[in-house]
């Protein structure tokens, strides 16, 4: 039985209790989300200008100086997840890095995608070589990561692009090794980071080695 407030999928996970566990985000970690969303909004008459580490504040009507209002941006975001979320490119090197880890490590994908996106997101993961258990999260990820980490007696690691999620894990599951990864090169200089608290590695080859070391692999 899952503790109140946690995603129900956590209770269905079947992990090797003797192996370490890696919990990994999807957007801008396994998936080039902004590039896919950029194509989608372009097809709907808008454009992305990557000048903030944000989503809606980077969407503009052509020729306008003020970004799109959040409500309209949110509507586009929801439509993207309903209709086009399977057309995202995978982050370079991610599938290979996880495959190398998977032989001796439990891998769980933890995404904050809208609930209706679960099935298309699962199909996308399988298509691109990320056929691992999927948990759809709501809110900050610390409680979910703690619950997943407690399912094994091995070490645990977590990868996300967003500082609030990394901070949440630091609070709720401080023994979990934390890594920040930002897949889109345009977003990297804009991302909020705390390298004194969470290791920042934006190359999956290097990140895979660092995760293996943190997990004792």
Q: Which domains does the chain have, with CATH numbers?
A: 8-32+88-214 (3.40.50.1000), 33-83 (no CATH)
Residue range 7-31, pLDDT digits in tens: 999 999 999 999 999 999 999 999 9
Q: Which of 31, 20, 202, 214 is nearest to 112 (CA)?
A: 31
Q: How far is CA 156 from CA 5, 23, 108, in A?
A: 21, 8, 11
Residue range 144-192, pLDDT digits in tens: 999 999 999 999 999 999 999 999 999 999 999 999 999 999 999 999 9
Once rounded to an integer, what is the mean pLDDT over residues 133-154?
96
- Exposed, middle or buried by CB within 10 Å (0-12, 13-18, 19+), for 12? exposed
Angle at 160 between CA 1 and CA 137, to 5 degrees: 30
Q: Is the model's pLDDT at 1 over the cut of 70?
A: no
Residue range 27-80, pLDDT digits in tens: 999 999 999 999 999 999 999 999 999 889 999 999 999 999 999 999 999 899
Once rounded to an integer, what is the mean pLDDT over residues 105-128?
92
- Pairs from 172-176 (Cβ < 8 Å, separation ≥ 24): 172/142, 172/143, 172/145, 172/146, 173/142, 173/145, 173/146, 173/149, 175/149, 176/23, 176/145, 176/146, 176/149
Residues shown for the chain: 217
Q: Which of 153, 162, 159 is nearest to 194 (CA)?
A: 162
Q: Is the model's pLDDT at 2 over the cut of 60?
A: no
Q: What is the pLDDT of residue 113?
A: 83
Q: Are strands 134-136 and 156-160 parallel, antiparallel or unpaired?
A: unpaired
């Amino acid at each position: 039985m899952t503790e109140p407030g946690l995603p129900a999928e956590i209770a269905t996970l079947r992990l090797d209790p003797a192996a370490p566990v890696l919990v990994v985000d999807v957007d801008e970690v396994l998936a080039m989300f902004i590039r896919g969303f950029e194509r989608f909004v372009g097809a709907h008459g808008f454009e992305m200008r990557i000048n903030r580490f944000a989503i809606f504040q980077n969407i503009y009507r052509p020729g306008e100086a003020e970004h799109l209002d959040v409500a309209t941006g949110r509507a586009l975001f929801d439509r993207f997840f309903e209709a086009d979320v399977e057309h995202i490119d995978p982050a370079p090197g991610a599938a290979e890095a996880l495959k190398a880890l998977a032989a001796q490590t439990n891998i769980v994908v933890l995404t904050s995608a809208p609930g209706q996106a679960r099935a298309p997101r699962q199909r996308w993961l399988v298509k691109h070589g990320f056929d691992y258990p999927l948990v759809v999260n709501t809110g900050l990820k610390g409680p979910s990561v703690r619950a997943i980490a407690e399912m094994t007696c091995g070490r645990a690691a977590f990868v996300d692009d967003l500082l609030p999620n990394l901070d949440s894990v630091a609070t709720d599951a401080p023994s979990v090794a934390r890594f920040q990864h930002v897949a889109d090169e345009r977003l990297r200089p804009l991302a909020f980071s705390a390298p004194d608290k969470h290791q920042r590695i934006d190359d999956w080859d290097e990140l895979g080695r660092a995760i293996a070391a943190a997990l004792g692999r």
